Amino acid sequence: MAAEDIRRYGVAGDPVSHSLSPRIHNAAYAALGLNADYQRLPIPPPLFAETVKALPRSGFSGINVTIPHKRAALELADTATAAAKEIGAANTLSFRHGKIAADNTDAPGMLAALEVDPAGMTALVLGAGGTARAAIWALKNAGATIHVWNRTARRAELLAEEFGVRPAGDPGDVPRPEIIVNTTAVGMDHAATEESACVDLRLILSALEDQTIIVDFVYRAGGSPLTRAARSRGLRTVEGEELLVRQAALSFEIWFERAAPLNAMRSALD
């Protein structure tokens, strides 16, 4: 493949300057000797649809999509997998033969990173956006009992009704949750502390069972404020960086139709 035929990929979001996805994907391309490049694509919501439709003409073969575009990505696509349709959000778009195809790798990526079978477990999902939808769908289909909480109670109620799960008026109302998944942006601000994150999410970690697993889609060097607080309590955590690597690997496999170099992608974050 000539230099001018490089395959281009990226991550679209607003904001997206913090994204580690370019490091992860470009490490995969280097490990396998692929003539491809991955970049950040800051796109405000009003420009999302027209910008994405123009990307194939600039040599793009696909993109990942993050906050706040995951639902818009699904609506924009010409075709979508059954999972993306059921979730109601997409984080992976592929540009092929003049069409846009949508998929969601957040859901299977989270289950892979969890490394336990959630069947029969009680899960609390914090948030009501596109990532929350993927987490609820994945855990429900895996056999967990789901409660969903959001700072705007009505959003949690509507999401719970849509997915046939239970709304929580407060995280403390959920009895003995075994898995807690944070899909909100709490902790993304570098001024956030372990204490402020727990306060904002209304979590009292000391009240949780020792076996509770804390999953946080927010990623920070050394862990998010929430996962750092959880680790200090001796709770098991699934870090945002591992979730990012897992969903990135699945997106890679969609685009290149080959196994992703998972170790090289993880090493890019060291």
Q: Is residue 28 part of a domain?
A: yes
Same domain? 92 vs 163:
no
Let me know: does 230 contact 203? Beta carbons within 8 Å: no
Same domain? 113 vs 224:
yes
- Name the least confident of 27-31, 220-224, 226-230: 220-224
The alpha carbon of residue 268 and the mean position of all alpha carbons in its chain are separated, in whole angstroms, by 18
- The residue from 104, 136, 152 where one domain ends is 104
Which CATH number fits the domain that encloses residue 9? 3.40.50.10860
Backbone angles phi, psi at 124, to 5 degrees: -115, 120
Identify the pLDDT of residue 1: 41
Q: Where are the beta strands (DSSP E) in 43-178?
A: 60-65, 79-80, 92-96, 99-103, 122-126, 145-149, 166-167
Containing structural domain, residue 52 = 3-104
Report the percentage of the chain scoring pLDDT > 90. Answer: 95
Stretch 158-181: mean pLDDT, rounded? 97
Identify the pLDDT of residue 190: 87
Tokens of 85: 């349709």
User: How far is the C-alpha of 45 from the C-alpha of 222, rounded, in Å?
Assistant: 31
Sort 267 into a burial class: Cβ within 10 Å, 0-12 / 13-18 / 19+: middle
Same domain? 49 vs 153:
no
User: How far is the C-alpha of 227 from the C-alpha of 252, rounded, in Å?
Assistant: 27
Give per-residue pLDDT as tens, 83-134: 999 999 999 999 999 999 999 999 999 999 999 999 999 999 999 999 999 9
In sequence order, which ranges of 106-239 are alpha helices (DSSP H)? 106-114, 130-141, 153-163, 194-200, 225-232
Let me know: does 38 contact 20? Beta carbons within 8 Å: no
Q: Is residue 256 part of a domain?
A: no
Q: Is the pLDDT of residue 245 over 80?
A: yes
Catalytic residues: 70
Residue 195 CB coordination number (10 Å): 10
User: CB neighbours of 12 closer than 8 A, spacing ≥ 6?
Assistant: 41, 42, 43, 48, 51, 52, 63, 64, 65, 66, 69, 73
Identify the pLDDT of residue 65: 96
pTM, two decimals, is 0.92
Of residues 3 and 122, which shows the higher confidence score? 122
Q: Is the pLDDT of residue 3 over 90?
A: no
Let me know: does 69 contact 47? Beta carbons within 8 Å: no
